[in-house]
Amino acid sequence: MGKRIRKDLYIDEKKGKEKINRKELLEVLDDLKPGLATSNILDQMDHYLFMDDRVAACDGEVCVVKEFPIGLSGSVKASEFYKLLSGVDSKELELRLEEGQLTTGRGKSSFGLAYREPGESHSLVESLGYGDLSWRKLSGEMKRAIGLCAFSASKDMTKPALSGVYVGGGDVLSSDNYRISWFRPEEGGIKRGFLIPASAAVHLIHYDLDGYSLTDSWVHFKGKGLFYSARLLGEEFPQKARSFFPEEHEEGFELPEGLVEALNKSLVLLQEDSLLDKRVDISFEKDKTICSMRKADVGWVREEVPLKDGPEEPMKLSVNPVFLKEVLRHATRVVAMDENRIMFLSGNFRHLIALEG
């Protein structure tokens, strides 16, 4: 077949050309999705960027770079390339440039896409200069803190200070004036303050990251063969949000383990929603928790989960199921603050939320 030189690459000795593992390339492209723009406001923002030994996606606010020996420099439209590549049967493939087209496949299964030479987006990725940055250790707890707090940030862009996650002084904070999240990690606290857009921060929980670096305009994260960069917000976050959390509180009740399975069922109908837009309705009652959601033209789900020592009066709220699943990864309690507010407690994480009327 050929001489293997890396896990995902070998040289076909008969043809003298590189072949690429299709499945592993698709996994790389999946990792790049947060950096893709939905519209091409600037050149190649909705493209996969090929950079010889790396593949990247950069929408001007988020850049994701993954090491991969693609052997090309240029770009193709991301959505079309991913869908066509997913439909190819071959385990290994050759990517060829032919008359302005990126082509692959032979015989009955092949395709070609318009190919662009390196442009503005390539230059932006190069300007980030990952090799010249000074890196500090990022603890797993800090990574989780930033990603988890992203779910409480505002989507109202008229309040830009609330659209991000504040990191600094050992704290991680976010709020949309109805919810407040506060995480104070035991280890790896970041002293220098910065405000990262929640739309960028929310994806951190899906990556294996171990380092970070701050510049004047960007925060960068790195893992094995991966870089994830987000442009910082230039706003002042209201750190007084911490004062809304009580120093003392009641014991509350434990969230039931079976709630995770109920949330998974609701997520089946929410696949098309963006990560921050997913919502389910939760009702805590004396002996049960009810998880429900209804989506027009799609369907509905309702699940009851037994609850021990729940509240005397039902407490109803709307919550992001991905957020709640992350919270449930740790021993978690719910505390009724008053008739209008409840608080989730999960290790060093606190989340205050206004109840539905």
173 and 58 in a common domain: no
End of a domain among 95, 127, 159? Answer: 127
* 3-31: average pLDDT: 63
98 and 22 in a common domain: yes
Which one is predicted more confidently, 189 or 50?
Answer: 50
DSSP 30-46: HHTGGG--SS-SSTTTT
109 and 9 in a common domain: yes
In a domain, 57, yes or no: yes
In a domain, 20, yes or no: yes
150 and 122 in a common domain: no
User: pLDDT tens across 106-139, in order?
Assistant: 667 788 999 999 999 999 999 999 999 999 999 9
- pTM of the full predicted structure? 0.85
239 and 153 in a common domain: yes
User: pLDDT tens across 22-54, in order?
Assistant: 999 999 999 999 999 865 566 789 999 999 999
Q: Which residues pair with 293 in a beta bridge?
A: 301
- What pLDDT is stored for residue 245 in this prediction? 87
In a domain, 213, yes or no: no
281 and 235 in a common domain: no
- What pLDDT is stored for residue 182 in this prediction? 94
57 and 122 in a common domain: yes
Residue 115 identity (one-letter amino acid): Y
Residue 283 identity (one-letter amino acid): S
If phi over 0 gives left and psi between -120 and 50 gives alpha, with beta otherwise, what is residue 125? alpha
278 and 189 in a common domain: no
Angle at 58 between CA 52 and CA 61, to 5 degrees: 150
- What pLDDT is stored for residue 157 in this prediction? 82
195 and 106 in a common domain: no
For residue 185, is pLDDT > 90?
A: no
In a domain, 220, yes or no: no
Distances (CA, A) of 188 to 28, 138, 288: 28, 6, 38
Rounded to whole angstroms, the Cα distance separating 139 from 196 reads 17
In a domain, 115, yes or no: yes
End of a domain among 127, 157, 187? Answer: 127
End of a domain among 127, 159, 190? Answer: 127
- What pLDDT is stored for residue 91 in this prediction? 87
User: pLDDT tens across 144-184, in order?
Assistant: 999 999 999 998 888 899 999 999 988 999 999 889 999 98
180 and 120 in a common domain: no
- What pLDDT is stored for residue 38 in this prediction? 65
123 and 8 in a common domain: yes
315 and 289 in a common domain: yes
CATH code where residue 166 lies: 3.10.150.10
Q: Decide: 198 and 174 in contact? Cβ < 8 Å.
A: yes
* 322-340: average pLDDT: 83
User: pLDDT tens across 200-254, in order?
Assistant: 999 999 999 999 999 999 999 999 999 999 999 999 998 888 888 888 777 889 8
User: pLDDT tens across 293-305, in order?
Assistant: 999 889 999 999 9
In a domain, 335, yes or no: yes
CA 60 distance to own-chain centroid: 17
For residue 14, is pLDDT > 60?
A: no
In a domain, 16, yes or no: yes
Domain that holds residue 36: 3-127
Domain count, the chain: 3
Rounded to whole angstroms, the Cα distance separating 151 from 15 reads 51
For residue 100, is pLDDT > 90?
A: no
Q: Which residues pair with 106 in a beta bridge?
A: 109
In a domain, 238, yes or no: yes
